[in-house]
Amino acid sequence: MINDPNRRRFADLLAATTIAAYVLVALGTAVSATDGATSCPTWPGCATDSSLGSLSGDLLLFWAHRVAALVTGLLIVASGLAARQVDIGRRVTWLVGCAIVLFPIQVALGAALVVGGPAAASGLHLVLAMVIFACLLVALVRTLEDGARDRSEQPDAVDPARPVAEASEVTDGGDEEVVTGTDGSGGRIARLRRTAGAYLTLTKPRLMWLLCLVALAGMGLATLTGTPLEPSVAVATLAGGVLAIGASGTFNHVYERDRDRRMNRTADRPLVHDLVPARNALAFGIVLTSASMAVLVAWVNVLAAALTLAAIGYYAALYTVVLKPNTVWNTVLGGGAGALPAIIGWAAVTGSVGLPAIALAVVIFLWTPAHFYSLAIAYRDDYARGGFPMFPVTEGVLAARRHIALYLGATLLAASVLGWLAGLGWVYAVASVSLGAVFLRSVIRQYRRPTDAVALRSFYVSNYYLGAILLAIVLETLVIAG
């Protein structure tokens, strides 16, 4: 049983091994994408000539990769030895054994690359590292799930101190509604401010910063083609994107207003309290859509405008109307709406669609369930009242945590591939390694402390992770490279 101290120690060791394996993958792709591979032409030592001897960022990255390989190897061996001493089940034993068998092969391929081996070994070296990480992650998830079952996990307690989610700034009642004396101007000003705040809330402004950062990262990646980013294009793309996000959010508010009334999380939205008539809100969304298209067509290009219109339709129609109320896979399939800004950003600069932009979109697509399922766990009762078949509601919290962990693993690997494809360097590597490890640890912690508060913290950490790697892309492509 997991309450056995040996089982608990094994789970902790396996968690550390899995995180170390991820760090190794991320650093390995960074070394492959930069000049780090040429900074140290010998193995296992690092004999450099005078021209390579300076302490450069590439050399530090290469040494970090070698240290990570040593630490990961020792942890894999320790996990294998521990697996022989603890009753963990045949599947977990096989998965740890997979890592033990593949790791020496992966190290040998890495050594061959350093001393001038065939270039084809580079791809295989990366693939094996990813397979090792995947084996360890699946073994860890199974081990943690066994522990959760052994504890007969109870439903998570609702945390009364958790923050209200998603732009719930407008409330019913309040001082602004009070009109004192005979001066009607103060009351009119208060009502105008309240109405303006309600319309602003319809646009879901809290979503804008991250989606705009996705588009900006897409624009940054596009400059790797040699096409410069004109400031006017960047400003127009972001302005059109903000208008499009506002339109999508408004349409979502209009369609879900009846369900919002039944949910504590959304009960203070403007349409719930008739602060804005539904007809006016719909017209507002149409105006925002038209303005977005006008800005993008006039100052960016037709492809970026068409993709933005597709993103509005994806979120407002496909996700909000079709997927969210009807299928448990709504979050997974709906991730395309958040992924499109990466392609829009690239298209704004180049007038086409490129592979690095698609890779970034894949990262966002995979990140979405790893991010949103934590929120859905914390608010599962609310979603049930609203009639939404969210994954934790229909499949249970334990299954949702499994999907969070597996989608997170896929996200981390996809982010590493993105860095490799785009040739991103040490800034991206540091951001993805540090925040990726923190994100993975926060998900593991959900198994250790299965509360709504911990799930919400994981949700916020996921935002920090994505924001950090997007900002790293912007810094590397638009600041450092520029």
Q: Residue 40: what pLDDT?
A: 63
Q: Give 234-266 as a DSSP string.
A: HHHHHHHHHHHHHHHHHHHHHHTHHHHTT-GGG
Domain ranges (residues) in the chain: 5-150, 206-480
With contact defined as beta carbons under 8 Å apart, do 450 and 159 qualify? no
Fill in the DSSP letter of residue 52.
T
For residue 183, pLDDT beyond 90 = no
The torsion angles phi and psi of 271, rounded to 5 degrees, stand at -75, -25
Per-residue pLDDT, 5: 75
Identify the band that residue 216 occupies on the pLDDT scale cut at 50, 70 and 90. Answer: very high
**Per-residue b or e along 105-123, where b marks 16 or more CB atoms closer than 10 Å to that residue's CB:** ebbebbeebbeeeeeeebe
Average pLDDT, the chain: 86
Give 418: exposed, middle or buried? Use CB within 10 Å, 0-12, 13-18, 19+.
Answer: buried
Instruction: Tell me which of 76-80, 125-129, 149-153, 326-330 is least confident.
Output: 149-153
Q: Please, which pLDDT band fits residue 169 given cuts at 50, 70 and 90?
A: very low
Q: Radius of gyration (Cα) for the chain, nearest Å?
A: 25
What is the rounded distance in angstroms from the CA atom of residue 347 to the CA atom of residue 301? 8
CATH topology of domain 206-480: Tetracycline Repressor; domain 2 (1.10.357)
**Claim: this prediction has a pTM higher than 0.85:** yes
**pLDDT tens digits along 39-64:** 566 666 665 544 444 455 667 777 78
- Angstrom CA distances, 63 to 24, 42, 60, stand at 11, 12, 5
399-442 pLDDT per residue, tens? 999 999 999 999 999 999 999 999 898 899 999 999 999 999 99
Cβ atoms 82, 140 nearer than 8 A: no
What pLDDT is stored for residue 177 in this prediction?
Answer: 34
